[in-house]
Structure 1
Amino acid sequence: MKKINIVFFLVFTLACSQFALAQEPKKDIKADSTKKEKSKKKKDLPLEIARRIPVKTNEGSWMSLDVSPDGKTIAFDFLGDIFTMPITGGKPVQFTKGMSFDSHPKFSPDGTKLLFISDRTGGENIWWFNLDKKDSLQVTKGNNEHYQSAEWTPDGTYIVASRGIRNLKLWMFHKEGGSGAQLISKPDNLKTVEPAFGNDGRYVWFAHRIGAWNYNAQLPQYQISTYDRDNGEIERKTQRYGSAFAPTLSPDGKWLVYGTRHNDQTGLILRDIKSGDEKWLAYPVQRDEQESIAPLGVLPAMSFTPDSKEVVASYGGKFYRIPVAGGDAINIPFEMETEFLVGPRVDFKYPIKDDKDMIATQIRDAVVSPDGKQVALTVLNRLYLYDIQKASYKRITANNFTEAQPTWSPDGSQLAWVTWENNAGHVYKLNLKLKDAKPVRLTTVAGLYTEPVWSYQGNKIVFFRGATQTFKDADSPFFQGAQEDLVWISGDGGPLNFIAKAKGRSNPHFTKSEDRIYLYNGQKGLLSIRWDGTDEKAHLRVTGITVYGSVLMADNCMLNESEMEPAQEPSIADVIKIAPESDKALAQINNEIYVITIPKTGGDTPKVSVAEADKAQFPSRKLTKLGGEFASWSSNAKTVYFTLGNACALNELAGESLEVQCCK
């Protein structure tokens, strides 16, 4: 088998000092022939226009539309832009353009404005523009919620929208802006979408279901109800087995059109509101979105003509005028000619070669020696020692199996680590002061060993133990049960000594002043226990920024099927480590590194938010700008080390916070 030499870079920075980055020789790179836009300072969306793809077609997919009050024009969305076109067809005129995604246009009752949903400020919000584009307004503010659609009240004063993250609720806003009012708030698992009005502004028609969505959905999923703006009462209007969605009301108040599924096809139902009689208006049309989250609605929005004689809808890639009195649907022909704007090409040139040397792109588990002169780390599951002064590295062993998570003895003379070899794991150590010393296996019983750390007091190494079968049976890197017991072993080897069950705790470490074992638990925060596992104390909880979006299931990459709205809560720390000395702790949250002061409050566990580190409850500081991982303390607690890709950085707490760029 061909031997490969691994080349990696370590870059250390001191406060206010200069540093150099090792860099590969420049190579001739073939220029990208794709047309690129000149870089412009972006006011809102960060994604720059890099490519323009010409589009010329007479068909489109999932186009929501609306008919103007005078019946002469339709507005519709197409590939994230808004267009207008004569109701008789023709060449659409582009109303909005750019990198934002604009959808669900709605004419104001007086026909002077166009309402739509847009993410042009970085998050979805409600906007309206005058048709002459001389005036516009962002009705809602915020970048962390989803708007499915919005509709004018018949008097044109207010706007009702479906807003939320997963279980959207009906909200009402004034056309001139403001924070608005939530019309429906309970139950929490109720999802309300596709608000619509008839000629009576008292009632809001909408589609609803329990829960945001679910896999292998069983019908019915949606039904249609009305919300009474006078008394807040909700009245269900449908009981369809195939569901009922996309309510569309005629201007004369006589007709309701909605979508439903029959057998394996979706069609449109026409209901006489007074008598309740129903019949098929069009069947089939196009597939609905009942099995998905339906971010753009369960069906594309449709609209009556002002005389209430026709329904204009899109399906099968076309626009159609469907007579209410019966008869064939009338095609509205169009010839679309536009550009689809695209961001930079995600195309990184990483050639695969069979060269003897290769550049590693990530170093892991980097820990600096107590004297600050050497770094122990793993690259491609092999253990290396890097001499900072000589800028040289070497393999610590000649083993051909996984070596990970090195830890230094307090005096820096020895190094211990864990392995996985021949379907079993062990703990090893090496005395670096002895010439030609060989690695010594400390454990006599195979297991799944993780997170070793040397105690400051006594020649003891603490680590977690799990069953080898757990690792053998793991179906992903995120398996459960790897850490069952917290144990210790003498630095000279011998039997394992039980301390406590893991109980969701991780990252054992020590201080020089106390003979306690410090640990981390995601819910409880920074903890400490005695060597017999008793007297657990909680010292600090740290949270960061609030992130938004859907939540994935714990054991796969599929969306969580929970009926409840995802909680918008601050991110909790991935790890907290107390400093060997002083009252500080480092925390890693969302791959950013922070240093926090630990207060002794004597009551409940102190909580510190570093969402804005300079405004935290107690002195705190963010050390990273581009991110970092595998953070650790220096022996004297004056420096924090961390890595990013194949670069390693240190940050002296007394100086400026400097960021290290990954070497190339």
Structure 2
Amino acid sequence: VQLTSKPTDQKDVNEPIFSIDGKHLYYSEDASPGSTFEYDKDSNGQIYVVRQLDLETGKTLNLINGPGGACRPTPSPDGKTLAFVRRVDGKSGLHVFDIESGAIQLLYDNLERDMQETWAIHGVYPAFAWTPDGESIVFWARGKIWRLNVADTSLHEIPFRVRDSRQVAEPVRFPVNVAPGKFPVRMLRWVRVSPQGDKVVYQALGHIYIKNLPDGEPTRLTSQNDHFEFHPSFSRDGQYLVYTTWNDKSLGQIRVTSLSKKDDHENRAITNKPGHYINPVFSPDGSKVVFQRTGGGWLTSPLWSRDQGIYAIASQGGQPVKITESGSNPQFGISNERVFLQQTASDTNADNRKLVSISMEGKEERTHFTSTWATDYQISPDGKWIGFVERFHVYVAPFVQTGKTITLGPDQKGLPMFKASETAGDWIQFSGPDSNLYWSLGSDLYSLPVSLEQMTASDEDTLPEPKINNISFETEHDKPSGTLALTGGRMLSMVHPFIEEKTTLIIQENRIVDIGPDGKVSIPENAHVLPLEGRLVMPGLIDTHAHGQQAASGFIPQQNWVDYARLGFGVTTVHDPSNDTQSIFAASEMTKAGLITAPRTFSTGRILYGAAGSYKAEIDSLDDAEFHLERMKAVGAFSVKSYNQPRRDQRQQIIKAA
């Protein structure tokens, strides 16, 4: 029987215990402001409270609250007193509360730190107990079990021994080549197949690449190096490509390029003002381009950030016309007159992403589909199918218009549906003469024909397997040229005696080839000599838990102040255990290729998140764990971060899968 409910999915309610007379339930609850979990909560104020539920009337009251909070309520045998934990001046202390008078007394202030500021799904402090005579409280702290006399607060250790056996697994360790001669490009973004199914474009290494399917060589769309290129999209006839650009100084444009040789691959800007432009798409007849205008300010320039929203512009260029302020990821179905948008109306327990359509004049908004956890919707060009991504899988259903909103999800029963991908999928779209479904994962492009028979098949074994095509390439790992001699400096080494005076260090390309006292090291004739008398030379710092934004609206800046700050403080390698997957691995590959200046960047990408959310990593088996590790490995990760996976078996499955 459920007795309480959480105010939101991200607010912990736990540590329940019945009163001695059985008339009440005591429990702790996160009562901090807001509806979502927040870091850096102030433990000097109130975070947790102890609540009392009347089991006869159903009424609930805050029994113990105030500065320092209150948690782990534990009634005395006579039912007159509650022991509980409170934080005072940074110390977690054991207190008692007189239920009749409300008086509070501190008994002991050297407990282990409670967990009020963080997730506490298993309780804020380990359980403790009163002795049957009510004279003492037995609790754990500082690795030992203690008995505290309530009357005089005298403390006595309770010695104990535990005979136990544990299975300890070998750690998963393997070498990582930080500077190979070449490396495979895995982070392909905005993967789009032409309407004829004969070409694929994507963004990688800061620029747009185009490849003839099935086995052509990927080549740059342009040869310019003034700006980075993003968000490519084909016209319906396959003759043109629209995309956006970014330059840290001049900001962004929307550009259209012809793919026809007769037009000599004409490339032109269709916007006349700089801005932060994303997600451009052609209307079905090719006469207009609809796009989203965003803003900057943290990682990119704050200029030209006003009047954000969805706009339309003639594909030949002109004055943009605003359609609506709300929505993202514009796209078209079969009609030129209505544009489809995605909207998110997050509440405390769900993301609630909607697919809506609106007239090109910004009127007659209609909500077609909604989903609790979908992260992307795509409509087929003929308007027959709707594809969506939920929990990293790709699903397809018929696009049905009923005049009402239809809820989509793997478990919905209202529409025939099938899961297209056993692997993870990104950048879904319908394209080609038969509106095949495409999606990508890392270097691979997946394609699958779509039919109603697939959605009504009772046997999953009868479903066709997707075709897989590796569409990426390898590129040279950047390295400096020449030889550098650092002379006369003090050297901080990693072996005894650690400080070496007046040393010479020889660097050839990207390798240290010799080091020793001045005069004892041969300096090559072609070396550039850098005198460092009075300076200290040390190995670059490796930050194994680094966080820092790498992109804004998908734009990776040409110069990221986060990375310049790291380098300025001597950090030459970072490992980021929680970042946007697409942004961090795209930036990492651009660093390897020498296109941006940054420390060597490694990452887990997005955490394997165990709590509710659209990017939750559901893990209930070894197969589930392998699914998530395979999708992260496909885009360049060599490590993952298990975060808020509440059960021990879930965490073990991740380790086993690794």
Q: TM-score, normalised by structure 2?
A: 0.59
**Could you say if the C-alpha distance between residues 628 and 345 of structure 1 is closer, same or farther in structure 2, counting changes exceeding 3 Å?**
farther
**Could you say if the C-alpha distance between residues 335 and 467 of structure 1 is closer, same or farther in structure 2, counting changes exceeding 3 Å?**
closer
Aligned to 1:607: 406
Aligned to 2:23: 202
Aligned to 1:508: 331
**1:502 and 1:611 mapped to 2: Cα distance?**
31
**Could you say if the C-alpha distance between residues 305 and 578 of structure 1 is closer, same or farther in structure 2, counting changes exceeding 3 Å?**
same
Aligned to 1:139: none
**Could you say if the C-alpha distance between residues 408 and 326 of structure 1 is closer, same or farther in structure 2, counting changes exceeding 3 Å?**
closer
Aligned to 1:399: 224
From 505, 513, 517, the equivalent of 2:339 is: 517
Q: How much does 1:640 deviate?
A: 1.0
**2:47 and 2:128 mapped to 1: Cα distance?**
20
Aligned to 1:592: 393
Indicate conservation of the 8 Å contact 1:267/1:284, yes or no.
Answer: yes
**Could you say if the C-alpha distance between residues 346 and 424 of structure 1 is closer, same or farther in structure 2, counting changes exceeding 3 Å?**
farther
Q: How much does 1:312 deviate?
A: 1.3
**2:337 and 2:131 mapped to 1: Cα distance?**
80
Indicate conservation of the 8 Å contact 2:196/2:238, yes or no.
Answer: yes
Deviations 1:58-101 (A, max 9, x none): xxxxxxxxxxxxxxxxxxxxxxxxxxxxxxxxxxxxxxxxxxxx
Aligned to 1:415: 241
Give the root-mean-square deviation of aligned CA atoms.
Answer: 3.9
**Could you say if the C-alpha distance between residues 208 and 488 of structure 1 is closer, same or farther in structure 2, counting changes exceeding 3 Å?**
closer
**1:407 and 1:237 mapped to 2: Cα distance?**
60
**2:277 and 2:111 mapped to 1: Cα distance?**
59
User: More strand per residue: 1 or 2?
Assistant: 1
Give SS of 1:575's match: strand
Deviations 1:358-411 (A, max 9, x none): 201121212222221111222122211111244322222212231122222333
Report whether the alignment pairs 1:334 with 2:160.
yes
**1:467 and 1:314 mapped to 2: Cα distance?**
52
Aligned to 2:267: 440
**1:471 and 1:277 mapped to 2: Cα distance?**
52
1:440 maps to a residue whose letter is N
Indicate conservation of the 8 Å contact 1:364/1:379, yes or no.
Answer: yes
Indicate conservation of the 8 Å contact 1:510/1:580, yes or no.
Answer: yes
**1:500 and 1:517 mapped to 2: Cα distance?**
9
Report whether the alignment pairs 1:486 with 2:308.
no
Give the alignment of 1:211-290 within 5 angstroms. 211=32, 215-222=41-48, 224=50, 226-233=52-59, 238=64, 242-253=68-79, 256-270=82-96, 280-290=106-116
Aligned to 2:527: none
**Could you say if the C-alpha distance between residues 249 and 431 of structure 1 is closer, same or farther in structure 2, counting changes exceeding 3 Å?**
closer
Q: TM-score, normalised by structure 1?
A: 0.58
Aligned to 1:28: none
Which range moves more in the overlay, 359-368 or 329-338? Answer: 329-338
**1:433 and 1:226 mapped to 2: Cα distance?**
74
Indicate conservation of the 8 Å contact 1:591/1:629, yes or no.
Answer: yes
1:589 maps to a residue whose letter is E
Aligned to 2:141: 315
Q: How much does 1:331 deviate?
A: 1.1
Gaps of 5+ in 1: 1-179, 544-569
Aligned to 2:211: 386
**Could you say if the C-alpha distance between residues 426 and 342 of structure 1 is closer, same or farther in structure 2, counting changes exceeding 3 Å?**
farther
Give SS of 2:261's match: coil
Deviations 1:505-557 (A, max 9, x none): 4323342x5544333333583333444x24434262142xxxxxxxxxxxxxx
1:651 maps to a residue whose letter is L
Aligned to 2:256: 429
Gaps of 5+ in 2: 346-352, 455-462, 471-633, 635-658
Deviations 1:254-285 (A, max 9, x none): 65433344444333345677888765543443
Aligned to 1:638: 435
Aligned to 2:415: 618
Indicate conservation of the 8 Å contact 2:333/2:382, yes or no.
Answer: no
Indicate conservation of the 8 Å contact 1:269/1:278, yes or no.
Answer: yes
**Could you say if the C-alpha distance between residues 188 and 647 of structure 1 is closer, same or farther in structure 2, counting changes exceeding 3 Å?**
closer
Q: How much does 1:651 deviate?
A: 0.7
**Could you say if the C-alpha distance between residues 432 and 344 of structure 1 is closer, same or farther in structure 2, counting changes exceeding 3 Å?**
farther
**Could you say if the C-alpha distance between residues 323 and 629 of structure 1 is closer, same or farther in structure 2, counting changes exceeding 3 Å?**
same
More RCO (CA 8 Å, sep 6+): 1
Give SS of 1:424's match: coil
